Amino acid sequence: MKPETQQAGWHQKLDAPVYAFRRAIYLLLVWLTTLGAMILLHSAYASGGLSILKLVLLVLYAILILWIAGSFWAAMLGFWVLLTRLDIFARRRRAALADDSVTLPADARTAILMPIYSEDPDRVFAGVRAMWRSLEKTGKAATFDLYILSDTRDVDTWVREECEWYRLCTELCAHGRIFYRNRKQNSARKSGNIADFVQRWGADYRYMIVLDADSIMAGDTLVKMVRLMEANPDSALIQVPPLPVNRETLFARILQFASTAYGPLFTAGASFWQLGDSNFWGHNAIIRVAPFAAHCGLPELPGREPFGGEILSHDFVEAALLRRAGWRVWLAYELRGSYEELPPTLIDFAKRDRRWCQGNLQHLRLIAAKGWHPISRLHFAMGVMSYLSSPLWLIFLLLTSAEAYVQSQDIPDYFFGNNLGPVWPTSFTVELKAVFFFTLAMLFLPKLMSLLLIVLDKSQRRAFGGFIRAALSALLETLFSILVAPVLMLFQTKFVWAILLRRTIGWPAQQRADHSTSLGEAVAMHGVQTLLGIAAGVLSFIYLPDYFWWFVPVLSGVLLSIPLSMLSSSVHLGRVTRDLGLFVTPEERKRPEVLREFDQAMAAVQSKPMSVRDALWEPRSHALHLALLPPDELFSRRQQHYAQGLMYKAMEEGLQSLTTAEKRDLFLRADSLSELHDWVWGTVAE
């Protein structure tokens, strides 16, 4: 399936040179910066000739500085785009959305998909409620349906999802508009869940808006996404960057501030050079269903996990497949009203990284695959580098220490050859310091530029709590990120190492709600890191006393990782800083309507949740579960005996004696479940 030929206006015919020009500028800046840094470092290393160690350091630095320069120049170009508002593509999008009174065509049917897997049902349905209400308020909800696509295995959560879904539909009069499905076999995780939707119901819809369990999108944004797709018939996917909201721990609040304040710079910059070859981030994006169905059936990679098997980070691959088929993928960085939630603690953040790391490293095998668009290859490479950079930095630090030690062992020879006077060794401290500060500048300048953008815009300045509070928040966030960076570097190095050793992780449910990190958990996760920090500190103090203070920023993060992890997980500290006006985001200061709806829905959550016992005991819950089961299959005699065996086991030893899978098998059988229902009531008499 190919995209419709553009009914191109004159301006669209100019797109190809714009693409080429922007990419040339970006790549030129990145390569020149890398080259400059390399020349500087080379001149510092040149004394005494290039040893193998120095050569390795140069190569490592080249890779790392290229990576940093890529990010730095994206941010700088983003700054320019946001400052001047001269991006013609964003202008076209704004023009397409200018008239609010436009109605959506009746055949532009859109399914909003919320794939869930063992999430807190209260949270999930509060989000759905808020989005649906917000969508209804636009008066343009008629062409939308919403699907809750559950892959939940745990029966307690499954039963709660069913009850919450029914309650929600009744409350919103949305029966026949909001659907719920619990997938029988959850093969291929989230991508399999979406594929199952496409295969079963995809023909009914022109678009699907894919969300995550923690996504919230304003109704107005959902409508705008459809309108943008309608205006761009050659686009298969438009990604809207989500802003993190709702968390209250100190850690999450700092990250929320950082993403909200600095994020727009990076997304605008990425969009500047990626244009219609942008990427898919897995959620908060609208997708044209027909090309997705035609081109995004994911194969399994040959070999075993973690590099073979199911494709884990499916989003990058789906975007690449759409591009391969000639469709455009856009990043609409200027659209607002798109939200997500962050992991509440440093440890949860690291756990999420573990999953993402495995998915991204799997892309190593895809980079060179045949047929990709060059920018798609770059997306894969950037995904890989976002995790591989950590072990590379660690190796770079270790080798730098080794080089420093070698240098410190050299006894300078002032009198050699035919020289009559002493020959003083050349000092390259200035060059080394220049390299160091040059690298730091590229890391921290984007933050400063973001702050400048906030300061220049009066409404933004007010939304971030005023100049002083915003600046202080940025300063504290920078200090925090300096401390956390080496901790994340060690975590990610460990993850990469584990993946290289072919250790896989399953599909663990995520901990999304606010909670504090206990001492035990912190010691278990950071204990080894702390010991490594102590060892590195002692060794550098003894053997590299001249360089010790240079290592202090890296060492302090690692040494303080336990208290840092515990303190930053505190909700109390998160609230105290909020009361002080620190790390305040516009969404915290003035809650958008859809988030206010969400808050109300969360506040109305009943304290006593449903359980499996209720589904067995309460005739209403029991009937609801039966009503939602797929039609009965014909079971073999062996399957029937198996189900009976489970039922009798539950009767004699209690439901808790069954494994999650066994409980699920039992709850998939209407006949066994009804028999158990009768038995539960029968036991009342005893």
Binding interface with other proteins (CB under 8 A): 145, 165-166, 169-170, 173, 175-176, 179-181, 195, 198-204, 289-290, 293-299, 301-302, 317, 321, 364-371, 618-620, 623-624, 626-629, 631, 670, 674-675, 677-679, 681-686
Contacts of 85 (CB under 8 A, 6+ apart): 91
Measured on CA atoms in the order 648, 651, 655, 656, is the torsion positive or negative? negative
Taking the least distance from each CB to other proteins, the nearer of 367 and 573 is: 367
- Given the complex with other proteins, which of 105 and 682 has the nearer CB atom? 682
Phi then psi for 637, rounded to 5 degrees?
Answer: -60, -35
Nearest residue (CB) to other proteins, 94 versus 175: 175
Q: Closer CB to other proteins, residue 247 or residue 625?
A: 625
Asked whether 601 and 126 are in contact (CB, 8 A), the reply is yes
Q: What is the distance between the alpha carbons of residues 231 and 217, in angstroms, rounded to a whole number?
A: 21
Phi/psi at 115 (nearest 5 deg)?
-75, 130
Q: Which is nearer to other proteins, 149 or 347 (CB)?
A: 149
Strands of 110-116's sheet, edge to edge? 178-182, 144-150, 110-116, 207-210, 285-288, 235-239, 328-331
* Amino acid making up residue 582: L
Closest CB to other proteins among residues 166, 393: 166
Q: Which is closer to other proteins, CB of 155 or CB of 366?
A: 366
**Which is closer to other proteins, CB of 22 or CB of 677?**
677
Residues 6+ apart with CB under 8 A from 37: 61, 65, 69, 435, 438, 439
Q: Chain-centre distance of CA 162, in angstroms?
A: 28
Max distance between CA atoms of the chain, in angstroms, equals 111
CB of 635 to other proteins, least distance (A): 15
The torsion defined by the Cα of 409, 412, 417 and 422, in degrees rounded to 10, comes to: 180
With respect to other proteins, which residue has the nearer C-beta, 296 or 454? 296
Q: How far is the CB of 283 from other proteins (least distance, A)?
A: 19
| Residue 371 or 527 having the CB closest to other proteins | 371
Beta-sheet strand order (sheet of 243-244)? 216-217, 338-340, 243-244
Kindly state the smallest distance separating residue 177's Cβ from other proteins, in Å: 9
Residue 546 burial (C-beta neighbours within 10 Å; 0-12, 13-18, 19+): exposed
Task: Say if strands 178-182 and 144-150 run parallel, antiparallel, or are unpaired.
Answer: parallel
Q: Least distance from C-beta 577 to other proteins, angstroms?
A: 44
Min CB(273)–other proteins separation in Å:
23
Which of 323, 309, 310, 240 lies closest to 276, judged by CA? 323
Whether the link from the prior residue into 306 is cis, omega within 30° of 0, is yes
Q: How far is the CB of 626 from other proteins (least distance, A)?
A: 4
Query: Min. distance of Cβ 123 from other proteins in angstroms?
Result: 21
Q: Give every CB contact of residue 640 below 8 A, 6+ residues apart in sequence.
A: none
3-class secondary structure, 604:
coil
Whole-number minimum distance, CB 366 to other proteins, in Å? 7
Whole-angstrom distance, CA of residue 443 vs CA of residue 676: 62
Residue 410 or 686 with smaller CB distance to other proteins: 686
> To the nearest whole angstrom, how small is the minimum distance from the Cβ of residue 654 to other proteins?
17
- Smallest gap from Cβ 538 to other proteins, in A, equals 40
Instruction: Name, in order, each residue with C-beta under 8 angstroms of 515's C-beta and a sequence gap of 6 or more.
Output: 249, 344, 345, 569
Min dist CB 661 to other proteins, Å, is 22
Closer to other proteins by CB, 145 or 151: give it: 145
- Give the residue with the Cβ less far from other proteins, 50 or 627: 627
Beta bridge partners of 216: 339
Residue length of the chain: 686
Q: Can you tell me whether residue 475 is helix, strand or coil?
A: helix
How many beta carbons lie within 10 A of that of residue 336, not counting itself?
A: 15
Distance between CA atoms of residues 218 and 135, nearest Å: 7
Strand partners, 338: 217
Q: Hey, what are 568's tokens?
A: 């930053």
Shortest distance (Å) from residue 418 CB to other proteins: 48
Phi, psi at 52, each rounded to 5°: -65, -40
- Kindly tell me which of 195 and 255 has the beta carbon lying closer to other proteins: 195
Q: How far apart are CA 186 and CA 198, in angstroms?
A: 15
Q: What is the smallest separation between the CB atom of 546 and other proteins, expressed in angstroms?
A: 40
Find the shortest distance in angstroms from Cβ 133 to other proteins: 18
Alpha-carbon gap, residue 504 to 507, rounded angstroms: 10
